[in-house]
Structure 1
Amino acid sequence: MVLDVGCGNGHHLLALAPEVARGIGIDLSPGMIALARARLCNSPWKANLTFEVGNAEDLNGIGDQSVDLAICIGGLEHMLDKRAVLASIYRVLKIGGRFFCLTLNADYVWYRTIAPVLGFGTRHLSSDRVLTHEEFSLLLDQAGFRRTRSVSWTFIPKGDVPTLVALLLTMLDVIGQHARLGSFRGGLSLCAWKDAKPT
């Protein structure tokens, strides 16, 4: 089973639908779940996907060790208790299961330096909190994940900023890719495995 945590309008789970036998998307917003269900009605994958209103901090209704893959794409920064979210994801993953997350990078030079100097707000919600790679790694370790892999990825909020700023962010990303500077890349891509506990 694939679990999409903070699934929003269902975009990512619907894109994965041809590859999964069963998938469930959960989101705290009833409005987003209504949108996801409406999109599902027009999908050939109605039989293997469901969308439910749910809290990522406890994942009620998802059984222990029932999930092969949990994904969280662009939602973690909006979740208040990230430690509880990651602990719940760890609980529902099968041994050998994976958690994959795309999230914003708090070390990004745009967030740390440029946006404050230019007076740009970088939060979508007042409760948003973006993590550094080190903070995220520590939370994964505390949840029980011992094996992780991470890389930087391109995040350029073109719809959220003026064209010239988007151009600046694009240039920063190109420099970051070529110079291998994570602080010039807007996003973090992390994968963590739930391994069997050592005996």
Structure 2
Amino acid sequence: MPLPFEHPEWSAVMGETMHPGGEALSRRLLSFCAFAPKKRVLDAGCGAGATLELLVKEGLEAVGVDHSKERLILAQQKGPTIKGDLAKLPFENESFDGAICECVLSQQENLLTVLAELSRVLKDGGILGITDLYLLTDSCGRTPGEKGSCANGARPREEMVDAFRLQGLESFFFEDHPGALRECAARLVWYGIMTAPKKTCRRLGYGLWLCRKASATK
């Protein structure tokens, strides 16, 4: 089953950012990351390159990586790109000062492997900025993500923080953005891309995280 963002009208509805919150949330994330000019920053899962373009315009040495050849055709018009798998990034150890990962981790069944790779390519003290879906929990505990959905690999916030820590990434800031998810769902329903949003949105949240790679000497 194709994922929602693979729907032919997805980009027409969501724009090139392809995630809840759009460019405004991407800009907010970058403002919190506060990367200094000329720093080397990875856009992991860059898609069509909307955030990659923002990074380049900020004077950063940005590189986008994505597994989709079709999306990279669009992204390469915005900045440097390379085709690659997030579970096996084609970069040397400690080669980036920072990284951005927007609405990508929730699609990964091998989350720990992807986080290990992001940690590997970050320099000590490097910042990883994330916006993504997470699972809400209730008295019955965890509600699994649905197969064939963008939330296939979504996890509760507590599990996300634990996963970051296991890979040497300290989560030091979180901001909730439920409105971004509701607005996204409403637009997708209006254009016939998504059905039954209430059930889905009741199970999911959308958040912004900042993580810092711990020093190896700590």
Task: Tell me the TM-score normalized by structure 1.
Answer: 0.71
Q: Which amino acid aligns with 2:47?
A: G
**CA–CA distance in 2 between the matches of 1:73 and 1:155?**
13
CA distance in 1, matches of 2:213, 2:113: 16
The match for 1:155 is 181
User: What is residue 196 of structure 1 aligned with on the other side?
Assistant: 215
SS in 1 for 2:63: strand
Aligned ranges for residues 53-68 of structure 1 at < 5 Å?
53-60=83-90, 62-68=91-97
1:198 is displaced (CA, Å) by 4.2
CA deviations 1:107-162 (Å, max 9, x no partner) are 189xx9xxxxxxxx977648822111011011101101234321211322233224
Cα distance in 2, alignment partners of residues 139 and 4 from structure 1:
20
Q: For the aligned residues, what is the CA RMSD?
A: 3.0
Structure 1, unaligned stretches of length 5 or more? Answer: 41-48, 113-120, 174-182
Does the 8 Å CA contact 1:93/1:194 hold for their aligned counterparts?
yes
Q: Structure 2-normalised TM-score?
A: 0.66
1:12 counterpart = 2:46: no
* Paired residue secondary structure (1:31): helix
- What SS does the aligned partner of 1:4 have? strand
Distance 2:151 2:131 in 1: 18
Aligned to 2:81: 51
- Structure 1 CA distance for aligned equivalents of residues 173 and 51 of structure 2: 21
Distance 2:49 2:166 in 1: 29
Larger Rg: 1
Residue of structure 1 in register with 2:157 after alignment: 133
1:100 and 2:129 equivalent? yes
* Residue 8 of structure 1: how far off its partner (Å): 0.6
Q: Closer, same or farther in 2 for the Cα pair 1:132/1:142, shift >3 Å?
A: same
Identity of aligned residues (%): 24
Tell me what 2:110 maps to: 81
Unaligned residue ranges in structure 2 (runs of 5+): 1-39
Mapped to 2, the partners of 1:147 and 1:77 lie a distance apart of: 17
Deviation at 1:74, TM superposition (A): 1.1
Cα deviation per residue 1:44-98 (whole Å; 9 max; x = unaligned)? xxxxx311110001112x1111111111111111223110110011111111100
1:24 counterpart residue number:
63
Contact kept in structure 1, 2:65 and 2:82, CA below 8 Å: yes
